Amino acid sequence: MPLWFIRGLRRGVVTTRYPARTEESARFLPTPPAFRPHVLTSQTADLLVAICPSGALRRGGDAGDGDVLRYDVGRCTACGRCAAAAPHAVTSSGVWELAATDRSVLIKKIPIGGES
Amino acid sequence: MTAPVTSEAEQLRNTIARQFGRSLHIRTLDTGSCAVCEQEIRLLAAPHYDLHRLGFFFTPAPRHADLLLVTGPMIRAFAVAARKTYDAMPGPKVVVATGACALGGVYPQDPFTHGAVDAVLPVDVWIPGCPPSPLALLHGLGVAVGRLAEKVRAVPFTPDDDSERTVVSG
């Protein structure tokens, strides 16, 4: 009989807490983009909206938001085309724990603050 | 006589939570995905991620499932089967939409697909990603059973080193 089986029986516990350890592999994951509002110009935002293949980026928010880039994290496939097209304004966010209990919290409004 | 009854009920509830609350059975449902989400879900049972250490198990029957892990854009040909699967599950039940397709990102609403899972099923937890990594899926399952807090609500997706950031709450 394998030793791990006897060890498991002796401990009596087969579950662990989460996270059991720091997840080292998480830094290799492709993560959704993050945007720098003060260098994001109106033209750049239009370009990003045009090249986004999954429609995650749209222009315009609700009334009173001003000039914003509407970013739907749920639709984003983390393909990296926006980061490749505008590396000065778009970086990788590094966030991978993205689960949400409300669809609307996944829709972020990025203010467009760059001088055009 | 109300107090002892309440305490007995509390005791019973705690016993049930201790015995069953840490175990959850998952039924996966592919509603037309490209199967990469399924690859990642399958990796959850691999030794590196080891889903079972957290008390989650996969089950082949919706009758035995507590959680429905739905992938794909919900093609219209599958909508009836998805509804039947949901109805066959005993309550309380949780529906988790997994991946960008299920969240409406990849396919539009057209004569072939509903475009998103929540057009047909009442979704409780959304897990973004294309595909969501096994780590993201583990976090999503933890959120679905109320063991982990959702983090994305507080993330503005503007970098931390951005000194002039002004964030409109979303």
Whether residue B38 has pLDDT greater than 60? yes
Asked if residue A12 belongs to a domain, the reply is no
CATH number of the structural domain spanning residue B107: 3.40.50.12280
Asked if residue B72 belongs to a domain, the reply is yes
Tell which residue, A75, A74, A38, A70, has the closest CA to residue A57. A70
A55 touches chain B (CB under 8 A): yes
**Chain B interface, mutation test: which of A98, A106, A109, A115, most B Cβ atoms within 10 Å?**
A98
- Please tell me the distance in Å from B2's CA to the nearest CA on chain A: 36
Q: Look over chain B and give the mean of its residue pLDDT values, rounded to a whole number.
A: 82
- Please tell me the distance in Å from A97's CA to the nearest CA on chain B: 5
Section B104-122 average pLDDT:
90
Quick one: pLDDT at residue B167? 45
Asked if residue B96 belongs to a domain, the reply is yes
Give the nearest chain A residue to B51 (CA atoms): A15
Asked if residue B103 belongs to a domain, the reply is yes
Domain containing residue A65: 26-111
Give the nearest chain A residue to B53 (CA atoms): A15
Half-sphere exposure of B100 (CA within 13 A, CB side): 23
Buried-state track B96-111, b at ≥16 Cβ within 10 A, e below 16: bbbbbbbbbbbbeeee
Asked if residue B52 belongs to a domain, the reply is yes
Asked if residue A19 belongs to a domain, the reply is no
Give the nearest chain A residue to B103 (CA atoms): A74
Q: Give per-residue pLDDT as tens, A91-102.
A: 888 888 888 888
B77 vs B3, more confident: B77
pLDDT-based confidence at B16, cuts 50/70/90? low
Q: Give per-residue pLDDT as tens, A13-66.
A: 666 777 777 777 778 888 889 888 888 888 888 898 999 998 888 887 666 666
Asked if residue A1 belongs to a domain, the reply is no
Asked if residue A21 belongs to a domain, the reply is no
B151 vs B82, more confident: B82
In A, residues 83-112, which contact B (CB 8 Å cutoff)? Answer: 91, 93, 95-111
Q: Is the dihedral of CA B12, B17, B18, B24 positive or negative?
A: positive
Asked if residue A43 belongs to a domain, the reply is yes
Whether ipTM > 0.85 holds is no
pLDDT-based confidence at B51, cuts 50/70/90? confident
Quick one: pLDDT at residue B28? 93
Q: Indicate the number of domains in chain B.
A: 1
Question: Would you call B105 and A93 a contact, using CB atoms and an 8 Å cutoff?
Answer: no
Asked if residue A2 belongs to a domain, the reply is no
Question: How many beta-carbon pairs under 8 angstroms link A with B?
Answer: 162
- Asked whether B131 and B36 are in contact (CB, 8 A), the reply is yes
Asked if residue B15 belongs to a domain, the reply is no
Cβ neighbours of B147 in A, within 8 Å = 18
Domain containing residue B114: 23-146
Whether residue B80 has pLDDT greater than 90? yes
Cβ neighbours of A28 in B, within 8 Å = none
- Model pTM score: 0.81
Lookup: tokens for A45: 């935002």
Asked if residue A67 belongs to a domain, the reply is yes
CA angle A91, A93, A96 (to 5 degrees): 145
pLDDT-based confidence at B76, cuts 50/70/90? very high
Quick one: pLDDT at residue A6? 81
Give the nearest chain A residue to B131 (CA atoms): A77
